[in-house]
Amino acid sequence: MHFGPEEVHGERDRVRGRAGEIVPIINDTRDALGELFGTEVGSVSPERYRAEVDTVFADGDRAVNVAALAGLLRELDVEGDYPGFVVDELLGRQLAATIAGEQPLALLAEATFHFADVHTHGDERVDAAGRDDLDAALAAGFQTRLPGWTWRDGESPFAVEPTRE
């Protein structure tokens, strides 16, 4: 596998083009998590998803890593699936975290990956072991970084003002 600027650009186009598949997973995940946590979470439109894909891929260092992880998951298949369970889960978690950004969002995206994976595991629309994890990772990463969670609205109550000495 080789990744240069052209391959990263192509991967961005593929991820953007999956809005019709990924946005419903994002919104289903948000609805289910909102119900579990007793909160309403804003839904994501396909346009908002595509704009956020552009933002992620505008950061070259993040873009090459997202592209490589997505490419690996897209091509990964292990005969019988279960023996490859660890590697596709590992790649999926890392992709979700890389998309989401810095901590604590990266950790939340990793946890959300497993939750979203329940929606895609064994789905007939995928034909390789890693593809359901790719969809779950994209949904988890983007749903985590996008606004809509009330706890992310406004400034953190835990921020400490810098001292002036």
User: Is residue 159 included in any domain, yes or no?
Assistant: no
pTM: 0.88
User: Is residue 157 included in any domain, yes or no?
Assistant: no
115-124 own/partner pairs: CB under 8 Å, 24+ apart: 115/29, 115/32, 115/33, 115/140, 116/25, 116/29, 116/140, 116/143, 117/89, 117/92, 119/25, 119/28, 119/29, 120/25
User: Is residue 18 included in any domain, yes or no?
Assistant: yes
Query: What pLDDT is stored for residue 82 in this prediction?
Result: 62
User: Is residue 162 included in any domain, yes or no?
Assistant: no
Query: What pLDDT is stored for residue 126 in this prediction?
Result: 47
User: Is residue 95 included in any domain, yes or no?
Assistant: yes
pLDDT of 161 > 90? The answer is no
Query: What pLDDT is stored for residue 78 in this prediction?
Result: 72
User: Is residue 9 included in any domain, yes or no?
Assistant: yes
User: Is residue 153 included in any domain, yes or no?
Assistant: no
Q: What is the mean pLDDT of residues 21-50?
A: 95
Give tens-digit pLDDT for 102-121.
Answer: 999 999 999 999 998 876 65
Name the residue range of residue 63's domain: 5-148
> How many domains would you assign to the chain?
1
pLDDT of 131 > 60? The answer is yes
